[in-house]
Structure 1
């Protein structure tokens, strides 16, 4: 009995100790918890409250609507439309991407190209990067997915602005295109401090006007502060700053003229630039062949990229801006004007043209072997006597010719509002010293000036430079910077800003010298090399034909039928019209097609006929009046 009481007492004591220990432990825990709560809610209240507030408030960027692009008559060249998209963030998926795509494909149609492009982009993207899976969902597809979205964590349905180019391939090299923002784009935006304005945006201008006017077109990103639950579900909008849409651009381009000019290059390679001399506005800008910029908006697929990139015709190259060519006889009017201005040869001075010019035992022959006999400056331009200009080159000298031609824009960056413009080569003795490393190659020879004077040799100009020089000649030496964007229109305020209003410079030219050159150029179309192309024209134009060698014949006779097609001569033409009041100046090249008079001049005639048509000009006047009245009404 005693032992039983003793055992019971011992058990009670052990239980009491346990209770005390447990109580002390609980008290310590509650004390620690209380201290922690006091520390968090009192000592660290301000900092943690701010962090908690940030955690419950999501800042959602609102991308702006991109500015639209119009031609001079209000025709839409680039516009936007609303589009539903499905995008995937890999880090938020609860199943492998392949399994998710298969399951989603039972609800929403996913083409093989959608799947292929998605997995390609997924490999190149981070875990937290949103990757496009499908775009252009219709309302039915979007609503159907929204009803089942809970089954697909990590897949987001969203609406976005999508760029569209309704003219297709027409003026593609002018407009360029937008594309997905790349890593290089992100680095550039970061360096320029513009990254914040692209939050929420997925595309950026890549080429053409879309790239050079990116800041103007893009607009300013808005933000929306949204209260969310712990799971990220939005509860209410706390604050909203609306995005500012990008400004609209009105181009100087006339899409009707553009399409007429483009149609003349069907099946051919070449370029054409038409400019309004009084303003410097580019009326047509053709690079043939072209491409469809709509292919690039969401990333071009492999098949189409290969077709464009591997084509021997190089449709992606902007020929008027990037291609450089010897311009042949179209350079002669400028050489003749240089001779007059520098006092090197009078207009009535005659030289004998036996069909060749001989220098140091080497003969430089006329094209086609023609011999024109006694020839003055006017006749030399009209019949395109090479011998006359061969002999004129050394008299002027390459450096003097360089300095004179430079004023017209040859071998210079014109400053047109497109990216990728090339300078070309306007040769001089200084240029050759810098271009070659070996001393024996740096020396300038007189025979090289002979070739330069007829637009061959080291001469290498862009078609834009030739068109600009022709425009300057037509405007009596007034150099208006060539440009494509004529007006910037703010869609909110309606404010309109013109881009180029004053000449860059004016070349000091004697009117009597200009008259000599312009009269000779008019006779080229009346009775000279381009007379057939312009027979019966209801206006008087002035111009010059040209044919440029692709490679040196080294004295051999040129036979196009015996030469590879891509080694045949280029056909060139430059002109302006009407002579008395020039409204359009142009230059064009048709690659590897032969004589400028038979191939290039008829294209210019078609372009002039369209632009100077009385019916078109009357319609243009009515359009201008209607636009002015509409602008007054908006004010």
Structure 2
């Protein structure tokens, strides 16, 4: 039988007790240290986290500024709408959630693809897991109701009320107004995150893009308290957003619609400008397109349809269309001849129907096959005699001609307040050497003298040049902004128009009179090329027809009549005008693509513009 050693057992128990006490003490020290760390050292950190779990700051996007025409007609406004959003941080299984959502709300494959793309690139898109990520825009009332019934099945999914952009006139002035669209990946990299927090759209084209900073406004925020389930309890603090400024444009929407209607089956462009101020009265690129299609993402099928349309409705002909100006530049070339002393108004040139350079067999044809006979400057412009201007351009030389036309803005951006303006081409020896590394030839000078060859202009440049003639050299800057206004204070901000040093002051009044009289005879003279549209006009005006060749005719080939050509091979028709001739109120440039002749197609469009603006009369469409 084993005898217990009480002393040994007591010592073992004491040792274990001491060890246990030491371990408890050490654990207590660790606990106290951790409490000190949490309560003292990292107090602010965890307090902030706690507050953030309870308090949420929600950005409040501003109301986008409205766009009006000069008379207060709304061109772009905002309308209430609902969108379906998801906060990734609050959703356990996003794939399952979106799959179930599609059972109660119609979400297209394109919408899902866009949402998934955003989710994969949150950081790159300047988004976070606690942001509302849009799934579907413009929910119907029925869809909102269906989701409300099933709201409890979709934690982290919300229906958010927001303001959607709307264009009540649809395709009217579409290339001027432009449209807003959803912010894409590239734009997210350049836009300030805080300026666009809560915003989903940005100006993409036209005025909407050019004046984005004016229209956008300033983001506000709401600090709200929520419970552990994320449900709203109360609003703690609110900083309201500041709406964007409203923009008033210079265009007259009635005139704009009348001009768009005037084109009928044709495509082309019209720019109407007020010579005294530079305000754009109408600016048409025809055909247009419904701006509303792009606001929340156009379907790929519809976009493909617009892209493949032969009439190119998406192409902005006003600032990006570059056309040979044809005979519309003859008044400028004639004025150059007077300015440099190369000709006098009554100097005559004989036109047999063609022109030949010295020691060259090539014949440069006049549009009138049998010729005009003896022609002076007035008749050269009024009857648009090519031979007269072949001879004049040869005497002037390309360098002087190029320099003088450049003073009227040919081959230069006008500075219009629209994005993407092209410069056109004003050829010269230096230009050809730089661009093509080739020498200049005399024949190219002749062709440039009648607005063909390398010369390209935009409709806007032609309108600006016409306004300069109407003003007798007084420069005005073409612009679309009349003013923008703070909707709260009604403070107006006018556009800054720099016109210093651009007047043409060294042309004599007599020379201006000579050119303007010749342009008067184009529409009011017995043999003027546009005499048909001036016959019954209740006002006196000046004009010039033009025809821009789409393809060349060989030297030994007979030119075909317009009606014998395929439509896409017909010449472009051009016309410039201003009225009334003594105190001009409007200057117009018209380009009708494949219209054939300037006098038969483009001039009637110009007359419609003049009648509508000066008389308030509507004269229908061209045939």
With structure 1 as the length reference, what TM-score do the two structures score? Answer: 0.89
Distance in 2 between residues matched to 1:271 and 1:614, nearest whole Å? 21
Q: Which residue of 2 aligns with 1:122?
A: 115
Mapping for residues 352-501 of structure 1, pairs under 5 Å: 352-359=350-357, 360-437=360-437, 441=438, 443-500=439-496
In 1, Cα distance between the equivalents of 2:588 and 2:375?
28
- Mark the CA change 1:333 to 1:181 in structure 2 (over 3 Å): closer, same or farther: same
Name the residue aligned to 1:135: 137
Question: 1:590 — aligned with what?
Answer: 592
Distance of 2:466 and 2:11 partners within structure 1: 115
- 1:299-326 deviation per Cα after TM superposition (whole angstroms, max 9, x unaligned): 1111111011222222111001101111
Aligned-CA RMSD value: 2.4
- Provide the residue aligned with 1:633 in structure 2: none
1:238 maps to what in 2?
A: 236
**Structure 1 Cα separation of the partners of residues 9 and 590 of structure 2:** 112
**Higher alpha-carbon deviation: 542-551 or 41-50:** 41-50
CA contact (8 A) 1:65 1:161 kept: yes
- Whole-angstrom distance in 2 between the partners of 1:139 and 1:323: 43
Match of 1:29 among 15, 18, 27: 27
For 2:221 and 2:604, locate their aligned partners in 1 and report how far apart those are by CA, in whole Å: 56
Q: How far is the alpha carbon of 1:23 from its aligned partner?
A: 5.5
Matches within 5 A, 1:133-532: 133-138=135-140, 141-142=143-144, 145-146=147-148, 148-189=150-191, 194-359=192-357, 360-437=360-437, 441=438, 443-500=439-496, 503-504=499-500, 505-508=502-505, 509-527=507-525, 528-532=528-532
Which structure shows the higher helix fraction? 1
Aligned residue in 2 for 1:57: 55
2:621 paired residue number: none
Secondary structure of 1:371's aligned partner:
coil
Q: CA shift at 1:507, angstroms?
A: 0.7
- d(CA) in 1 for partners of 2:88, 2:569: 53
Tell me the TM-score normalized by structure 2: 0.91
Judged with a 3 Å threshold, the aligned counterparts in structure 2 of structure 1 residues 390 and 171 are, in CA distance, closer, same or farther, namely same
State the Cα distance separating 1:18 from its structure 2 match: 6.8
How many angstroms does 1:561 deviate by? Answer: 4.3
Asked if 2 retains the 8 angstrom alpha-carbon contact of 1:533 and 1:601, the reply is yes
In structure 2, C-alpha distance between the alignment counterparts of 1:73 and 1:46, rounded to whole Å? 57
Alignment partners' CA distance in 1, 2:312 and 2:35? 71
- Distance change in 2, residues 1:8/1:227 (3 Å): farther
The answer to whether the Cα contact below 8 Å between 1:534 and 1:602 also exists between their aligned partners in 2 is no
Rounded Cα–Cα distance in structure 1 between residues aligned with 2:376 and 2:177 = 46
Query: Is the CA contact (8 Å cut-off) linking 2:477 and 2:497 kept in structure 1?
Result: no
Cα distance 1:11–1:235, how it changes in 2: closer, same or farther (>3 A)? farther
| SS of alignment partner, residue 82 of structure 1 | strand
Secondary structure of the equivalent of 1:323? coil
Runs (5+) with no aligned partner, structure 2: 619-623
1:72 aligned partner: 70
* Deviation of the 1:144 alpha carbon: 5.3
DSSP 3-state at the match of 2:119: coil
- Alignment match, 2:576: 574
* Cα deviation, residue 558, structure 1: 2.1
What SS is found at the alignment partner of 2:609? helix
Q: For residue 229 of structure 1, report the CA deviation from its aligned partner.
A: 3.9
